[in-house]
């Protein structure tokens, strides 16, 4: 995995950024001593990185999130601790950014730090989301995210899925659509994400891109009793 | 089969409304339903519809009143505190016998409360949050797919009976993502909107939209005619889901996403040999009272589970009418019941601890 110290996950809201960011942080922890995940989501009131906090901390990953995330205070606030993450170069950092241009605006605030140090900015795409159902609409959102964040997307992630009902054809149709986006933006598709069972059915030439993810954010009715 | 897509509950409700022919949305933002107006603001201009963020909830509901009076398919959406502000307008719309859709994605209350999910607006929705003798048809989906289907049907129910309809979901339903399919909208056969104020062009008597009656006798007649309509709705429009109730000692009663949690608990209980079933009201008004009344003959007890301090449980008690004990378990303030806690309650009832 071609890793930068700073890894930023952006995308359309509901594209699966948080799940992938959480999985990516857990993956990094296998290779690095110090890993932190920063919840920059100022859009979503529910289903946030902080919901996976216990699990992440058990694995020794530092979680930097607004004290208000998951509470009843509906404030787009960001924790001051984020600054220390730029200065403390011991850490590998994963940024989980809120959806769309509205979410990306939170990134813009830290632009000076990103210009001092190179970064990897992923753009997560789920072609089964109606607002990113074709290359043109996906490009529209990608450009809005770049404009608002004042940063450049450096690679794409194919996270095409229908939750528990995903099949490999969904991923392949998504792949051809995202290849169009990749060509247009001249950035590579780094990963194809999904459950390991579905990824196992990918054709051989795509398998090197497969990045299996586990779903850590669960609904209350999925809890085992 | 049309293609499935992955959508948030809120987005799916907005898209369903558009596909059912809704072309007017008036609202004001509040968490956790903001994705409805956000989606409408992007989609309405593309279908030549109107999206308007009013200066307040009071203003938004009165715009709905006006558009409904002119015969438009129109909706608004909000969450608890905003729905409270809309109550005067809702009462006027009910009094003027106009159809519209009101979506409430419920958060914890009272007051500003919080933004996490709740079901504490049951009384407000079902018992008339505004003044006067009136009813709303209240639909309570438990999945994103059901939210789509019920939102589409809500407009037809509204037009059929000239009644405001509410889709009541909790914050979790609004925020969660699930695959959904938008089947081509097959509407009901509906009466013409010959009452709408669309301009007479000098060719007919003018139509009047009004809820004020000068003579008490005229108002009583109007109310009695409306009561007759409500009885028809109670006979024709009740919806519920029933599972494993045939041999059930304990019948669980829950609606919305809570019903999904209750079903997990029910499966766990069945695995341990405890005979429990579930009745999930889909229409909260008209309430599926008859089915609960009948189950009181075979079941030994009822357990209602809600994200509230106990609201629907009162309607369950009315339906069971003292024949069997009705117990309650609830969490509030944005806290969500866990399957394990519900299982514990079931065991307490079995063990005679309750």
Shared domain for B212 and B313, answered yes or no, is: no
Q: Quick one: average pLDDT of B250-274?
A: 97
Nearest by CB to B7, from A44, A47, A130: name it.
A130
Residue B226's closest CA among B241, B211, B205?
B211
Q: Do A221 and B260 touch (CB under 8 A)?
A: yes
The predicted-structure confidence for B319-335, as pLDDT tens digits, reads as follows: 999 999 999 999 999 99
Regarding whether B229 and B245 lie in a shared domain, the answer is: no
**Predicted confidence (pLDDT) at residue A159 exceeds the cutoff of 60:** yes
- Residue finishing a domain among B194, B219, B236: B236
Segment A10-16 mean pLDDT: 93
Q: Does A44 touch chain B (CB under 8 A)?
A: yes
Confidence of residue A2 (pLDDT cuts 50, 70, 90): low
ipTM of model? 0.90
Residues B176-190 pLDDT 10s: 999 999 999 899 999
Full domain range(s) for residue A213: 6-222
Residues with Cβ within 8 Å of residue B66, at least 6 apart in sequence: none
B82 and B226 co-located in one domain? yes
Residue of A44, A72, A163 with shortest CB distance to B6: A163
pLDDT higher at A221 or A60 = A60
Which segments within B188-292 are labelled E, that is strand?
240-243, 250-253, 276-281, 283-285
Measured CA to CA, the distance from residue B82 to residue B77 in angstroms comes to 9
Residue A74 touches partner B, C-beta closer than 8 Å: yes
Q: Is residue A214 packed enough to be buried (19+ CB in 10 Å), middle (13-18) or exposed (0-12)?
A: exposed
- Please check whether residue A1 lies inside any domain of the structure: no
Are B181 and B123 contained in the same domain? yes
B245 in the same domain as B228 = no
**B-contacting residues of A 45-64, CB under 8 Å?**
45-47
Higher pLDDT, B194 or B2: B194
Q: Is A89 helix (H, G, I), strand (E, B) or coil?
A: coil
Q: Is B8 on the interface with A (CB under 8 A)?
A: yes
| B318 and B263 inside one domain | yes
pLDDT exceeds 60 at position A204: yes
Over residues A29-52, the mean pLDDT reads: 86
Pair A122, A189: CB distance under 8 Å: no
Q: What is the CATH number of the domain that holds A128?
A: 3.40.50.300
Residue B99 shares a structural domain with residue B229:
yes
Q: Element (H or E) spanning B36, and its range?
A: helix B35-43
Domain boundary among B197, B214, B236: B236
Q: Tell me what pLDDT residue B269 has.
A: 97
User: What are A88's two structure tokens?
Assistant: 């403390």
CATH number, residue B136: 3.40.50.970
What DSSP letter does each residue of B41-72 carry, written as one string?
HHHGGGGT-EEEE-SSHHHHHHHHHHHHHTT-
Query: Do A72 and B171 make contact, defined as CB atoms within 8 angstroms?
Result: no
pLDDT tens digits, B121-147: 999 999 989 999 999 999 999 999 999
Query: Are residues B298 and B176 part of one domain?
Result: no
With a cut of 80, say whether residue B91 has pLDDT above it.
yes
- Which residues on chain B are in Cβ contact (under 8 Å) with A99? none
Among the three residues B236, B251, B277, which one is the final residue of a domain in this structure? B236
List beta partners, residue B76: B102
Q: How many helices (H) and strands (E) would you count in chain A?
A: 8, 8
Considering only CB atoms, B338 lies closest to which of A47, A72, A220, namely A220
Tell whether B292 and B147 lie within a shared domain.
no
CATH of the domain at B305: 3.40.50.920
Q: B240 near B284, Cβ under 8 Å? A: no
Interface contact A162-B11, CB threshold 8 A = no
Segment A74-94, tens digit of pLDDT = 777 888 899 999 999 999 999
pLDDT band at A72 (very low <50, low <70, confident <90, very high): confident
Task: Kindly identify which residue of chain A lies nearest to residue B3, measuring between CA atoms.
Answer: A128
In a domain, A127, yes or no: yes
What phi and psi, each to the nearest 5 degrees, are found at residue B125? Answer: -75, -45
Cα maximum dimension of chain A? 49
The residue count for chain A = 225
Q: Same structural domain for residues B226 and B267? A: no
Please check whether residues B229 and B322 belong to one and the same domain: no
Beta-carbon separation of A45 and B171 below 8 A: yes
Chain centroid to CA B163: 13
CA B73, CA B47: separation in Å to the nearest integer?
14
Q: Does B335 touch chain A (CB under 8 A)?
A: no
User: Which tokens belong to A4?
Assistant: 């930068």
CB pairs under 8 A between A and B: 86
pLDDT > 80? residue B101: yes
Count of the separate structural domains present in chain B: 2
Asked if residue A47 is part of any domain, the answer here is: yes
Tell me which residue range forms the domain holding B330.
241-350
Residue A45 has pLDDT above 80, yes or no: no
**How does pLDDT run across A208-218, given as a tens digit for each residue?**
999 999 988 78
Q: Where are the alpha helices (DSSP H) in A109-201?
A: 111-116, 135-149, 168-185, 196-199
Lowest mean pLDDT among A53-62, B99-108, B158-167, B254-263: A53-62
Domain membership flag for residue A194:
yes
Q: Which of B5, B32, B257 sits opposite A129 (nearest CB)?
A: B5
Instruction: List, in sequence order, every residue forming a beta bridge with B166; answer none if it has no partner.
Output: B102, B138
pLDDT of residue A74: 74
Residue A60 class from Cβ within 10 Å (0-12 exposed, 13-18 middle, 19+ buried)? exposed
Residues B114 and B177 in one domain: yes
CA distance B199 to chain A (A): 39
pLDDT at A225 (0 to 100): 38
Contact call for B171 and A221, based on CB within 8 A: no
Distance CA B143, CA B3 (A): 18
């Amino acid at each position: 995995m071609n890793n930068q110290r700073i890894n930023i996950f952006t995308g359309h809201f509901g594209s699966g950024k948080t799940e992938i960011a959480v999985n990516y942080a857990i993956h990094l922890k296998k290779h690095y001593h110090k890993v932190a995940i920063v919840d920059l989501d100022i859009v979503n009131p529910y289903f946030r990185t902080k919901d996976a906090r216990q699990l992440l901390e058990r694995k020794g990953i530092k979680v930097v999130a607004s004290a208000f995330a998951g509470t009843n205070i509906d404030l787009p606030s960001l924790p001051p601790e984020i600054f220390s993450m730029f200065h403390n170069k011991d850490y590998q950092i994963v940024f989980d950014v809120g959806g769309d241009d509205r979410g990306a605006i939170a990134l813009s605030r830290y632009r000076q730090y990103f210009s001092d140090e190179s970064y990897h900015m992923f753009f997560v795409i789920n072609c089964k989301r109606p607002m990113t159902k074709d290359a043109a609409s996906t490009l529209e959102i990608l450009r809005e995210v770049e404009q608002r964040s004042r940063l450049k997307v450096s690679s794409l992630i194919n996270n095409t899925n229908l939750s528990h009902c995903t099949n490999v054809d969904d991923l392949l149709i998504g792949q051809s659509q995202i290849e169009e986006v990749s060509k247009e933006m001249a950035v590579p598709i780094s990963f194809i994400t999904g459950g390991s069972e579905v990824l196992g059915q990918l054709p051989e030439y795509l398998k090197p891109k497969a990045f299996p993810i586990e779903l850590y954010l669960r609904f209350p009715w999925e809890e085992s009793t | 089969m049309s293609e499935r897509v992955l959508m948030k509950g809120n987005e799916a409700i907005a898209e369903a409304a558009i596909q059912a022919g809704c072309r007017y949305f008036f609202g004001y933002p509040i968490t956790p339903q903001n994705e409805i107006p956000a989606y409408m603001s992007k989609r309405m201009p593309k279908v030549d519809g109107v999206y308007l963020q009013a200066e307040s909830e009071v203003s938004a509901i009165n715009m709905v009143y006006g558009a409904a009076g002119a015969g438009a398919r129109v909706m608004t959406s909000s969450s608890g505190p905003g729905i409270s502000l809309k109550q005067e307008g809702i009462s006027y719309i009910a009094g003027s016998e106009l159809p519209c859709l009101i979506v409430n994605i419920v958060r914890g209350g009272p007051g500003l409360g919080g933004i996490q999910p709740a079901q504490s607006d049951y009384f407000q929705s079902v018992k008339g949050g505004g003044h006067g003798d009136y009813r709303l048809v209240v639909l309570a989906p438990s999945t994103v797919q059901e939210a789509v289907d019920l939102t589409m049907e809500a407009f037809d129910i509204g037009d059929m009976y000239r009644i405001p309809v509410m889709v009541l979901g909790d914050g979790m339903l609004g925020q969660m993502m699930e695959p959904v399919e938008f089947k081509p909208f097959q509407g009901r056969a509906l009466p013409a909107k010959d009452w709408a104020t669309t301009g007479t062009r000098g060719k007919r008597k003018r139509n009047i939209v009004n809820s004020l009656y000068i003579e008490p006798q005229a108002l009583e007649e109007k109310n009695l005619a409306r009561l007759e309509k409500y009885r028809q709705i109670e006979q024709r429009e009740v919806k519920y889901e029933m599972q494993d109730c045939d041999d059930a000692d304990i019948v669980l009663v829950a609606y919305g996403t809570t019903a999904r949690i209750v079903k997990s608990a029910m499966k766990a209980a069945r695995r341990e040999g405890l005979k429990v079933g579930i009745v999930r009201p889909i229409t909260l008004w008209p309430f599926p009272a008859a089915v609960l009344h009948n189950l009181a003959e075979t079941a030994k007890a009822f357990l209602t589970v809600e994200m509230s301090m106990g609201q629907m449980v009162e309607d369950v008690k009315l339906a069971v009418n003292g024949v069997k004990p009705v117990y309650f378990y609830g969490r509030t303030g944005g806290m969500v019941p866990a399957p394990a806690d519900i299982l514990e309650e079931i065991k307490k009832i079995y063990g005679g601890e309750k």
